Amino acid sequence: MVHVGIGYDVHPLVEGRRLVLGGVEIPHALGLLGHSDADVLMHAITDAILGAIGEVDIGHLFPNTDPAWKDAPSRVFLEEAARRVKARGGRIVNIDASLAAERPKIFPHLEPMKRNLAEALGLDVRKVGVKATTNERLGFVGREEGIAAMAVAAVDLPGE
């Protein structure tokens, strides 16, 4: 049976941090603030996968109070979510995600992001969707105070 999960994440933009989205470092004056590398795209996808298999969210598995995760690459979290699917005898069918950011332009970086995500999840890149939009200058995203990501994951769990 196919189960679906939804993930959402947001981090503020600040000076003095790298901007990492989908495992790609993007040149920009601001980066995302967080305990790990603050990759909102990988965090949202991780939560979507965990939700599809009925697990707790990323914050419970990798708490921001644990020094082990300080500046950790978010790929570690994504790979753990995929490992948990496999441990249940399941497989990730596909993922789809959207980034909301006014700047920088995301489109030129989408293909490397998709490749990174597919590799981390053991998926064919054609099963990974990543899109980008602005917030039409509305809200915290529109004021360039942060970046948000939303994701869905379909996971086949045989017998469940």
Six-digit token pair at 62?
């990798």
Which pLDDT band holds residue 29 (cuts at 50, 70, 90)? very high
Helix (H, G, I), strand (E, B) or coil at 115: helix
Q: How confident is the model at residue 102 (pLDDT cuts 50, 70, 90)?
A: very high
Q: Give residue-wise pLDDT tens across range 106-158.
A: 999 999 999 999 999 999 999 999 999 999 999 999 999 999 999 999 999 99
CATH of the domain at 57: 3.30.1330.50
3-state secondary structure of 3: strand
Q: pLDDT value at position 159? A: 84
Using a pLDDT cut of 90, give the percent of the chain over it: 93
Tens of pLDDT, residue by residue over 42-79, are 999 999 999 999 999 999 999 989 988 898 999 999 99
pTM of this prediction?
0.96
Cis ω before 104 (30° cut-off from 0):
yes
Q: How many structural domains compose the chain? A: 1
Per-residue pLDDT at 160 exceeds 90: no
Domain holding 94, by residue range, is: 2-156
What pLDDT is stored for residue 112 in this prediction?
98
* Residue 25 burial by Cβ neighbours in a 10 Å radius (0-12, 13-18, 19+): middle
